[in-house]
Structure 1
Amino acid sequence: MKKWQLFGTTVVGASLLLGACGGGNAGSGSGDNAKGEVKGDGSSTVGPIIEKLNEKFAKDNQDVTVSNGTSGTGGGFEKFLSGSTDFSNASRPIKDEEKKKLDDKGIKYDEFKVAQDGVTITVNKENDFVKELTKEQLKEIYSGEAKSWKDVNPKWPDKEIKAYSPDQSHGTYDFFTEEIMDKGDIKAEKNADTNVIVQSVQKNEQGIGYFGYNFYEQNKDKLKEVKIKDDKGKLTEPTKKTIQDGSYALSRPLYIYTNEKKLKENKGFQEFMKFILDDKGKAAEDAGFVALPKKDYSEQQDKLKDIIGKESDNKDSDKKEDK
């Protein structure tokens, strides 16, 4: 399978997600009789997790086709609102205005957490002076108040900062705006494609950028990670442990929002959601993210059962008793 690539607002569809053509043994999956088409869109951060999940899911669920796009968290919610998708991936919680629009249309939805992420701040590999930043210093940089590194710290060189950011279609942009900017404007070179941000920081010695932890993990030989002080002045660093337990200053959950009516009606969709939670974050780890604590997946499995009913679980129990 070709390497996962993200193309900003370009939809990445069923050609990447092989739900209809897995080559596993028929009858070996939990959804032996499951059929259907499942469509998703949204966060380019969550996208690689969905692909990893579907690579596994496809092996035993040949009659279920799962497709996914990466038009960004905001773009994904627009498609979710229009009814053209069954689930929407998000790298931030749903906004109040998005909730209202869904409510006005009579669309009931459910929120599931799929993994944990840490927004990682990086600078150019040749930058030998920026090792840590406070949230206030980040705000100075991304508000445009600090024009040079010397403006951030008098001990640093008087060289113009080149700041890079995801654009407004990204949940990562919204998260950063909320956590760092106090909802103020981000003044930086923005791009829909996270890979372009990575490359921009890599090429510019005065560059600084931010994105999901997996992008840093994939490019840590080319970039330098910056530690961040939390609100109490404690220095934090993004690691799997600190991201999972939330002690890293810029930790965040990653979400899947499901259309409840479509979930109840589509057996294939039910099986895919059960598979996601049964996986307990293994696919997320494979994609370079961090699994949630196991109890979080267990709690959400119970939530899913309450939504779709326990009929399928009773069938699974009958099979186990017959063995």
Structure 2
Amino acid sequence: MKFFIASALVLSAFAAKAESLVKIDGSSTVFPVTEAVSEEFQAATKGATKVTVGVSGTGGGFKKFCRGETDIQNASRPITKEEMAACRTSKITYYELPIAFDAIAIVVNPKNDWVKEITAAELKTMWEPAAQGKIMTWKQVNAKWPDEKLTLFGASTDNGTFDYFTEAIVEKSKSSRGDYTASVDHNTRVTGVNGAKGGLGYIPYAYYLTNKDKLKLVGVVGGPKAPSKKAVLPTEKTVMTGEYHPLSRPIFIYVSHEAMAKPEVKKYVEFYLDKAAEMAKQVQYIPLPAAAYKTAKEHLTKKKTGTVFAGEAHVGLTIEQILKKEAAL
């Protein structure tokens, strides 16, 4: 009898330890930041809590999050109206926490010697649905460019990067030609562009920085709302000031209010906000001002759930504009 009681206690202890788990999924763009935070957290807590970080893309991750299958959602765009409705159906409420700023970099093959800059209008000509099966060479986009095959590499429809890029460039979310190489994994796009002389792709700026030897970065001349009429390269400064328009964007984590009742999730989220700026910079993303993380902590303390974006895309917002919106929640 003593043996069975002892065994039951051991099993109970193992079960309790196994339950100390934080489940995260979503954006491959946000993944490097969350992965870095998670490694630090597990080291700081000496493995007392296990953190799993999946990469289903922002759209794929929200499906799980709004079914209550995950505690935290990595997102490279705000939650949509459809996802908000799905969360309401499952009675999932959430905190929206901006954790860094990112830029979508336009990259070409290093052997491309004809393009140093590109306009938002030229990108639209390449990527809009009407281009499918028709715009197949660089010369068709700009008569000054060679009759080289245009090989495009972009995000999959589950990526928040896909949603943001199409909204910013095609001016309609999820509106894109379909005859391009799509991938959830940004590194697959890096490899693709590197292997095709006429290749062009869009990837998070941090992925460009870690693959500089394989890619050529192209400056972007933004649309009519861009503050600069000249080509602008993504840098920490041009993203912070809003000059790199319209391809600068905030990235987020969404935290289930219900999951915050679990001590391990609460502890992890608080740790994340304390470390976000440091970890974002470490993986070459752009940290937010200290006031942004302070506001996020206040939202948790005051239990201010919901989104400031009303389920709509907001392209080209500056950091100051984001802070004002979040402060008004």
TM-score, length-normalised on structure 1? 0.81
- The one-letter amino acid paired with 2:159 is H
Give 3-state SS (helix, strand or coil) of 1:269's partner: helix
Q: For residue 280 of structure 1, report the CA deviation from its aligned partner.
A: 4.2
* 2:304 paired with 1:304: no
Q: 1:227 aligns with which of 189, 199, 219?
A: 219
For residue 317 of structure 2, what is the aligned residue in structure 1? none
Q: Which runs of 5+ in 2 are unaligned?
A: 1-18, 305-329
Contact 1:122 1:209 in 2 (8 A): yes
For residue 176 of structure 2, what is the aligned residue in structure 1? 185
Whole-angstrom CA distance in 1 between matches of 2:293 and 2:241 = 15
For residue 58 of structure 1, what is the aligned residue in structure 2? 42
For residue 12 of structure 2, what is the aligned residue in structure 1? none
Aligned residues between the structures: 273
- The one-letter amino acid paired with 2:299 is K
1:204-283 to structure 2, matched below 5 A, reads 204-232=196-224, 233-249=229-245, 250-263=247-260, 265-283=261-279
Q: 1:160 aligns with which of 149, 157, 165?
A: 149
- The one-letter amino acid paired with 2:169 is I
Q: For residue 146 of structure 1, report the CA deviation from its aligned partner.
A: 3.0
Deviations 1:117-157 (A, max 9, x none): 00000000011111111111001111325321112221111
Moved more, 228-237 or 195-204: 228-237
Give 3-state SS (helix, strand or coil) of 1:115's partner: strand
Deviations 1:227-255 (A, max 9, x none): 11122334221011222333211101111
For residue 313 of structure 1, what is the aligned residue in structure 2? none
Contact 1:194 1:211 in 2 (8 A): yes
Q: 1:39 aligns with which of 23, 40, 48?
A: 23
Distance verdict in 2 for CA 1:280–1:84, change over 3 Å:
closer
Q: 1 or 2 for the larger relative contact order (CA 8 Å, sep ≥6)? A: 2
CA RMSD, Structure 1 to Structure 2 (Å): 1.6
For residue 122 of structure 1, what is the aligned residue in structure 2? 107
TM-score, length-normalised on structure 2? 0.79
Contact 2:27 2:160 in 1 (8 A): yes
Contact 1:244 1:291 in 2 (8 A): no
Moved more, 141-150 or 284-293: 141-150
Whole-angstrom CA distance in 2 between matches of 1:37 and 1:105 = 21
Q: For residue 78 of structure 1, report the CA deviation from its aligned partner.
A: 0.9
Distance verdict in 2 for CA 1:227–1:200, change over 3 Å:
same
Give 3-state SS (helix, strand or coil) of 1:178's partner: helix
Q: Which runs of 5+ in 1 are unaligned?
A: 1-34, 309-323
